[in-house]
Amino acid sequence: MITLRRTGMALLLLVAAAACTGTEEPPLELLLAVGAGDAVVFYPAGTDAADEVGRWSLGAPVVDLARAEGEVRLWVLAPDALRAYPLQGSRSDRGPDPVAASVELSLGVDCSEGTLELGATHLLVQCGADVWTVPLDDPALEPVNTGADPEGTLYLFGPDDRVVRLQATLSGFHLVYPRPPGDPLEYDAGALAGVAALAAAWSADRLGVALGSGPPADASFYLWTAGSTEPPRAEAALRGLSEPRWLQPLQDGWLVGGAAAYLLRREGKDDVVRSGGYLDVAVTPDAYAYLLAPGRLVVLDLLDPNLSEHVRAVDAQAAAIAFFPASE
């Protein structure tokens, strides 16, 4: 399940300094954490095929994963609770030691379809209509008031970890951007014949929104700058992609995942569309994108002009992904 992570921002310096012929240095020594069934499975990062180097059997389904930059713990969302596990004892050829959770926050609801999103200093937990923010420095569930929001509202962190709302409408979406202590900014956008899928993410102060009415129609794409008095602006359609599942910001564009394809949009270049439905994505600081599906991991070198796909095998139940330095 996709988690709207801010990993794309870590590419700024690396992309600017890289040669145009692709990534010249090998991938950083990172480990990938993959949520698969009731386990977290660890793999070396990189383009080469590799066996798992560790596994945590947690006894509860792993719904989503997240790790904040600089933290030495992995957040694991389960249907009943949010837990954080220390990352210790890992190397490039060995996963972290299996230890008890250092944080456990009972949710009191069924979060089998939940998501996690990392902000600057908080974690956002969405379980349907139940939504919480969690301060990373002193973890506790802080409820978000969702009582007036329609069913299906998408919540995500904007600048300063303010909780932004996106609500699907008959033809597009309704954006609610809080401006405490004043009234929020609210805008409507879209011109579709019904909305079947909606995904969004922030890239610094820019909000990207992808929405689709289902095949065979192409998905629409909108951009909006935080605090702008203008409504979201329609960009070129996401041709070849009809049902957006997730949106990942990059230094020079966006990576959009759909039910049956993914699309790479970069400034000044033609869109790249390829077949394949992926449940989650992680972009590492060395400019590699890891697209995850059950049993399959596709690695893209984002600095490679050919954008070659490196296909790796992973656990058949793989559904969520995060990364961390191999030696914590």
Q: What is the mean pLDDT of residues 55-71?
A: 97
Q: Which residue has the tokens 């301060």?
A: 135
Q: How far apart are CA 249 and CA 259, in angstroms?
A: 18
Whether the bond between 181 and the residue before it is cis, its omega within 30 degrees of 0, is yes
Contact 63, 113 (CB under 8 A): yes
CA dihedral 32, 262, 62, 288 (to 10 degrees): 10
pLDDT score of 22: 53
- The superfamily (CATH) of domain 7-325 is YVTN repeat-like/Quinoprotein amine dehydrogenase (2.130.10.10)
pLDDT tens sequence across 121-175: 999 999 999 999 999 999 999 999 999 999 999 999 999 999 999 999 999 999 9
Residue 191 has pLDDT above 50, yes or no: yes
pLDDT tens sequence across 218-269: 999 999 999 999 999 999 999 999 999 999 999 999 999 999 999 999 999 9
Q: How far apart are CA 82 and CA 103, in angstroms?
A: 8
Give me the count of residues in the chain: 328
Residue 20 has pLDDT above 60, yes or no: no
pTM of the entire structure? 0.91
SS3 of residue 201 by DSSP? strand
Contact 22, 304 (CB under 8 A): yes
Please state, in angstroms and as integers, the Cα–Cα distance from residue 7 to each residue in 164, 217, 284, following that order.
19, 30, 7
Domain range summary for the chain, segments of one domain joined by +: 7-325
Q: How far apart are CA 144 and CA 150, in angstroms?
A: 14
